[in-house]
């Protein structure tokens, strides 16, 4: 029998995924689900042939420099890969994979939920009810804004952005988007979407802005203080991508000062820390990084990780390789 490769998994995964990993590999699991320290990550990289990290594991150049000679692959349990210094990993001859496409619908559903919840003040209303503030129906109480006819500007029209657009169109929103290049013509026609090459021009005209692009060096702080100030004071911003794409300090201040109407956030610049101003704001819906959190999605992610590892071990090209062109 061929020797099973040593695979270290940094966080607790669904039982069905871990069971299959134990069957196929010499899998070292993290039953406690405790996030590994930097020193523990280095030790893992020195001890395994394949590492299965998550977005909470920062594999920067310094950590990767400590990897042992037996490390051959990093099979990221995530759609994104901004937690890994890809340039350094590839330079060291490591195979890097991710789990794209699995969480598209789940994340788009959560994005749409935030697009609905913020202007309609659903969370605020639920909080009032729970705390005994409901005194009965009134024609002018808890008034929000309807979605139909509003302009939605999507930043990043990839799989998730397109899925958000399809859901939003069903609610009567007008679809606008900024991307590195226009989407396929038939998709743009079907969605009746308007492409904006210039992000600044789009931001100034939108009622709702949804951030759905990956975090890369090019998108880090893409919504800077300067760009946030282009938004209309009646605008709402939703982010289910990565917190580092937005200047969180400026966003929090603008919300506090009434220079933005509201925000729906699932991700934060310094997770798990949340900006104090955001926690105090009434016009903000905050979720604990759960947009992709479905049982089905997590299992599918694990299945993709297993396929990528098994393909690599068997001498084949993994289906979900991260390559320089993706950066």
Q: Which of these is catalytic: 242, 248, 275, 300?
A: 242
Helix (H) or strand (E) holding 187: helix 185-191
Instruction: Mark whether 271 is an active-site residue.
Output: yes
Cα distances (angstroms) measured from residue 242 to each of 20, 141, 159, 291, 295: 30, 34, 16, 11, 21
Coil, strand or helix at 7? strand
Instruction: Mark whether 145 is an active-site residue.
Output: no
Long-range contacts of 60-69 (CB under 8 A, 24+ apart): 60/85, 60/88, 61/85, 61/88, 63/38, 64/88, 64/89, 64/92, 64/94, 66/42, 67/92, 67/94
Instruction: Mark whether 178 is an active-site residue.
Output: no
Q: Which of these is catalytic: 151, 166, 205, 289?
A: 289
Long-range contacts of 91-98 (CB under 8 A, 24+ apart): 92/64, 92/67, 94/64, 94/67, 95/312, 95/318, 95/321, 96/321, 96/322, 97/73, 97/305, 97/308, 97/312, 97/318, 97/320, 97/321, 97/322, 98/320, 98/322
Coil, strand or helix at 52? strand
Q: Which of these is catalytic: 66, 188, 190, 271?
A: 271
- Look up residue 154 and give its two tokens: 């999507």
- Of residues 69, 5, 57, 62, the one with CA closest to residue 30: 57
> Which residues are catalytically annotated?
242, 271, 289
């Amino acid at each position: 029998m061929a020797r099973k490769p040593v695979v270290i998994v940094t966080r607790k995964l669904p039982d069905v995924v871990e069971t299959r990993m134990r069957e196929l590999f010499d899998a070292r699991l993290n039953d406690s689900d405790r996030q590994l320290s930097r020193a523990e990550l280095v030790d893992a990289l020195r001890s395994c042939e394949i590492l299965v990290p998550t977005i909470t594991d920062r594999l920067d150049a310094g950590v990767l420099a400590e990897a042992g000679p037996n490390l051959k692959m990093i099979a990221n349990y995530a759609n994104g890969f901004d937690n890994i210094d890809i340039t350094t990993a590839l330079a060291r001859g490591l195979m890097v994979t991710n789990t794209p496409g699995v969480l598209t619908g789940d994340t788009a559903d959560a994005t749409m939920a935030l697009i609905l919840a913020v202007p309609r003040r659903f969370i605020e209303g639920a909080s009032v009810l729970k705390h005994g503030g409901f005194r009965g129906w009134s024609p002018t109480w808890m008034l929000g804004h309807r979605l139909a006819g509003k302009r939605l500007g999507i930043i990043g029209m990839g799989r998730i952005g397109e899925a958000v657009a399809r859901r939003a169109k069903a609610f009567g929103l007008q679809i606008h988007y900024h991307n590195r290049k226009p989407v396929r013509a038939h998709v743009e026609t079907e969605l009746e979407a308007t492409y904006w090459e210039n992000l600044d021009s789009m931001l100034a005209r939108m009622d709702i802005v949804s951030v759905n692009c990956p975090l890369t060096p090019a998108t880090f702080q893409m919504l800077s203080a300067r760009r946030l100030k282009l938004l209309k004071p009646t605008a709402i911003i939703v982010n289910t991508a990565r917190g580092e794409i937005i200047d969180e300090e400026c966003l929090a201040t603008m919300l506090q000062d009434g220079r933005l109407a509201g925000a729906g956030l699932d991700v934060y610049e310094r997770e798990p820390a949340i900006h104090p101003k955001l926690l105090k704001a009434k016009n903000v819906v905050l979720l604990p990084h759960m947009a992709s959190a479905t049982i089905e999605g997590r299992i599918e992610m694990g299945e993709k990780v297993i396929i990528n590892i098994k393909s690599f071990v068997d001498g084949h090209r993994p289906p979900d390789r991260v390559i320089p062109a993706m950066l």
